[in-house]
């Protein structure tokens, strides 16, 4: 059921307001303690986060249209309840339906200088045909000098349910040639660019990741925090995670930027880097009846 403007306004707190229009749908704006964030209820999507005294952390395509016709390109898309192409239904929505669905604003709270916004994803028509309606995921967004996501799902049904999930976060960077990613040196990975040729399984490289062309990798056996080191902007973005088996590292480079069609400019790939945390094939979750899983990821600028 769609929330009315009056219902939404009753949930707000000081420093939390609503914007948006008929095309975009409601947008929750947070301005608290010098920190700011903007959250689209379409997709449960944080598309702007700026801690006090810092430059914006999330990249957003200049070609993004807030029209609820397609997912937002940039920010923090929520991939759920499957990742990439559905393994059995190739015509179903890429990365699931959560990023193309209106979420509900369930609560807004404030404590210890941080604002918590809780969203809920209704699994109802037309999306119930894709997935078990016994699932009722919630997403807690904790906004302050760090940005924390906690995606919680419980299988309230009587049968096991497989879940693929990822926080598909786009980070703003100074220049792709001047970044490195640490924390994954010891992890084996699947190179999705060659997966059809030889399965894509690769051994750990033993060195930080740098990018000089299209990259699309699923890192396995995730354990350590990940750090995006940005030499151009002079900052480090720390990614701490819990309940995640995988990290996906992605940049479309030149040709795919053109094919995607919504990246904004031909050289947009130079100022963005995706580092995703989650549980994706071959490590997708299998939730038993009554089982709950929490995927938690925190971003902090150092």
CB 77 within 8 A of CB 95: yes
Distance CA 283, CA 267 (A): 33
| 276 given a catalytic annotation | yes
CB 164 within 8 A of CB 79: yes
How many CB atoms within 10 Å of residue 10? 10
3-state secondary structure (DSSP) of residue 9: helix
- Tokens 């209106």 correspond to 102
Which is catalytic among the residues 276, 283, 291, 293? 276
In degrees rounded to 5, what are phi and psi of residue 271?
-115, 20
Which is catalytic among the residues 32, 45, 95, 168? 168
Distance CA 167, CA 138 (A): 14
| Nearest alpha-carbon partner for 135 in 125, 124, 126, 123 | 123
| 231 given a catalytic annotation | no
Reading the block at residue 178, the tokens are: 């001047």
| Nearest alpha-carbon partner for 205 in 185, 181, 228 | 185
Q: Which residues are catalytic?
A: 168, 276
């Amino acid at each position: 059921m769609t929330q009315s403007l009056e219902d939404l306004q009753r949930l707000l707190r000081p420093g939390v307001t609503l914007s948006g229009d008929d095309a975009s749908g409601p947008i929750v704006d947070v301005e608290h303690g010098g920190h700011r964030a903007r959250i689209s209820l379409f997709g449960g999507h944080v598309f702007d986060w700026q801690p006090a005294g810092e430059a914006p952390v999330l990249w957003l395509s200049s070609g993004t249209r807030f029209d609820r016709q397609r997912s937002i390109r940039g920010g923090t898309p929520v991939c759920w309840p499957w990742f990439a192409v559905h393994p059995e239904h190739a015509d179903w929505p890429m990365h699931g339906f959560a990023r193309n669905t209106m979420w509900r604003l369930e609560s807004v709270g404030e404590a210890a200088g941080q604002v918590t916004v809780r969203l809920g994803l209704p699994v109802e028509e037309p999306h119930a045909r894709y997935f078990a309606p016994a699932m009722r995921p919630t997403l807690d967004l904790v906004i302050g000098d760090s940005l924390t996501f906690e995606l919680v799902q419980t299988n309230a049904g009587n049968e096991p349910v497989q879940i693929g999930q990822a926080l598909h976060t786009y980070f703003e960077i100074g220049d792709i040639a001047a970044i490195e990613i640490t924390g994954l040196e010891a992890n084996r990975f699947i190179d999705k660019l060659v997966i059809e040729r030889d399965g894509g399984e690769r051994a750990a490289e033993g060195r930080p990741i740098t990018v000089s062309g299209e990259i699309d990798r699923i890192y396995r056996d995730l354990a350590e925090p990940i750090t995006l080191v940005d030499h151009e902007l002079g900052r480090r973005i720390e990614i701490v995670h819990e309940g995640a088996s995988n990290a996906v590292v992605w940049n479309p480079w030149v040709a795919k930027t053109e094919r995607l069609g919504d990246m904004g400019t031909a050289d947009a790939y130079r100022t963005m880097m995706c580092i995703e945390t989650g549980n994706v094939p071959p490590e997708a979750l299998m939730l038993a009846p009554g089982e709950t899983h929490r995927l938690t990821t925190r971003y902090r600028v150092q």
